[in-house]
Amino acid sequence: MPLLAQFLIGLLFGSGLVISGMSNPEKVLNFLDLAAIPSGGWDPSLALVMAGGVVVTYLGYKLVLKRERPLFDAQFHLSNAKNIDTPIIVGPAIFGIGWGLAGFCPGPAFTAIGTGSTSASLFVAAMIAGMVAARLLALRQLGIVAPGVTK
C-alpha cells in the first residue's frame, strides 16, 4: 500500500507540474529574468505556484503532525538541527545556480523526461552525478570509504 500511495502522490505532483507549465524550462527562466520586468516579458506565474505550494505544505504539516504517527511508518522522521552550516548554505546555492542556468529543478526535470526532452535527460544525469559526488565527498570527509572505492 505505501508504494501505491507514493506512486499516486508522485503522479499528482507530476500532473500539477505539467498543468502549471513548470516542466517547461523557458517558463522558469522567464520568471527568473527580472531584467524583463520593464518590457513586460517577466512571467510572475511561478511565484503563484510557489505560494500555493507553501500554503499546501504549511497546512499539510499542521494536519499531519497532529497525528500520533505517519500512516506508513512507526514514527515521524524530523530533523532537530538548528545550526546553519556550510552544507546548508552551499547546497541551496548550487541548487539555485543550476535552476537559473538550466530552468529545471529536480521534480520538473523528471517530469520533462517523460516528454522526451534531451535537455531534461542531460540535467537529470548531471544532477545524479552531482549527488553521487557529494555523497562520496561527505563519506570521505567522515573518513568512510565508500563501497568499491579504494584509498
Task: Quote the CA–CA distance of 89 and 87 in Å, as a whole number.
Answer: 5
Per-domain boundaries in the chain:
2-141
Residue 123 is placed in which grid cell? 540535467
Amino acid (1-letter code) at residue 110: F
Amino acid (1-letter code) at residue 93: A
Amino acid (1-letter code) at residue 105: C
pTM for the structure as a whole:
0.70
- Tell me the pLDDT of the chain (151 aa) as tens digits: 788 988 999 899 888 888 888 888 888 888 888 888 888 888 888 888 889 889 999 999 999 999 999 988 899 998 888 889 888 898 889 888 888 888 888 888 888 888 888 999 999 999 999 889 988 888 888 888 766 666 5
Cβ pair 32, 100 in contact under 8 A = yes
Determine the number of helices (DSSP H) and then strands (DSSP E) in the chain. 6, 0
Residue 11 is placed in which grid cell? 503522479
Task: Quote the CA–CA distance of 115 and 132 in Å, as a whole number.
Answer: 25
